[in-house]
Amino acid sequence: MATTRFEIEKFDGVTNFNLWQVRMMKILVQTGLKRLLLRKNLRI
* pLDDT tens per residue, range 2-23: 667 777 788 888 878 888 888 8
Q: Has residue 1 got a pLDDT over 70?
A: no
Q: Nearest 5°: CA angle at 35, between 5 and 3?
A: 20
Our measurement of the distance from residue 19's CA atom to the centroid of its chain's CA atoms, rounded to an integer in Å, reads 12
Cβ neighbours for 33, distance < 8 A, ≥ 6 positions apart:
27
DSSP letter at 8? -
- Prediction pTM value: 0.57
Q: What is the pLDDT of residue 43?
A: 64
Proportion of the chain above pLDDT 90, given as a percent: 0
